[in-house]
Amino acid sequence: EDQVTQSPEALRLQEGESSSLNCSYTVSGLRGLFWYRQDPGKGPEFLFTLYSAGEEKEKERLKATLTKKESFLHITAPKPEDSATYLCAVQDSGAGSYQLTFGKGTKLSVIP
Amino acid sequence: DAGVTQSPTHLIKTRGQQVTLRCSPKSGHDTVSWYQQALGQGPQFIFQYYEEEERQRGNFPDRFSGHQFPNYSSELNVNALLLGDSALYLCASSIGPNTEAFFGQGTRLTVV
A25/B contact by beta carbon, under 8 A: no
Give yes or no for residue B93 having a pLDDT over 80. Answer: yes
Give yes or no for residue B2 having a pLDDT over 90. Answer: no
> Binning pLDDT at 50, 70 and 90, where does residue A1 land?
confident
CB within 8 Å: A100 and B45: yes
CA dihedral A78→A65→B90→B53, nearest 10 degrees, is: 160
B93/A contact by beta carbon, under 8 A: no
CB within 8 Å: A102 and B105: no
Give yes or no for residue B37 having a pLDDT over 70. Answer: yes
Give B58-65's long-range contacts (Cβ < 8 A, gap of 24+).
Answer: B58/A99, B60/B36
Are A76 and A60 in contact by the 8 Å Cβ rule? The answer is no
> Binning pLDDT at 50, 70 and 90, where does residue A95 land?
confident
Q: By C-alpha distance, which of A84, A82, A93 is closest to A33?
A: A93
Residue B98 DSSP SS3: coil
B28-45: burial string, b at 16+ Cβ within 10 Å, e else: ebbbbbbbbbeeeebbbb
> Binning pLDDT at 50, 70 and 90, where does residue B1 land?
low
B98: closest chain A residue by CA: A98
Per DSSP, the residues of A19-80 read EEEEEEEE-SSEEEEEEEEE-TTS--EEEEEE-STT-EEEETTEEEEE-SSEEEEEE-S--G
Give yes or no for residue B58 having a pLDDT over 90. Answer: yes
> Binning pLDDT at 50, 70 and 90, where does residue A96 land?
confident
Nearest-CA distance B3 → chain A (Å):
11
Chain A residue numbers touching B92 (CB-CB < 8 A):
100
Residue type, B107: T
Q: What percent of chain B has pLDDT over 70?
A: 99
B7/A contact by beta carbon, under 8 A: no
Q: What is the mean pLDDT of chain A?
A: 96
Q: If 0-12 CB within 10 Å is exposed, 13-18 middle and 19+ buried, where does residue A24 land?
A: middle
A48/B contact by beta carbon, under 8 A: no
Q: Mutate which of B7, B89, B103, B110 to test chain A, going by most A C-beta atoms within 10 A?
A: B103
Q: What percent of chain B has pLDDT over 90?
A: 95
Are B94 and B102 in contact by the 8 Å Cβ rule? The answer is yes
For residue A94, the model assigns a pLDDT of 87
Higher pLDDT, A97 or A102: A102
A34/B contact by beta carbon, under 8 A: yes
What is d(CA B22, CA B19) in angstroms, rounded to the nearest whole number? 10
CB within 8 Å: A101 and B33: no
Omega prior to A112 cis, within 30 of 0: no
Omega prior to B70 cis, within 30 of 0: no
> Binning pLDDT at 50, 70 and 90, where does residue B107 land?
very high
Q: How many C-alpha atoms does A13 have within 13 Å on its Cβ side?
A: 24
For residue A12, the model assigns a pLDDT of 98
**Of B44, B97, B100, Cβ closest to residue A34:** B100
The helix (run of H) or strand (run of E) holding residue A109 is strand A106-111
Q: Cα-flanking dihedrals φ and ψ of residue A34, to 5°?
A: -120, 140
Q: If 0-12 CB within 10 Å is exposed, 13-18 middle and 19+ buried, where does residue B75 land?
A: middle
pLDDT in tens, A48-73: 999 999 999 999 999 999 999 999 99
CB within 8 Å: A34 and B104: no
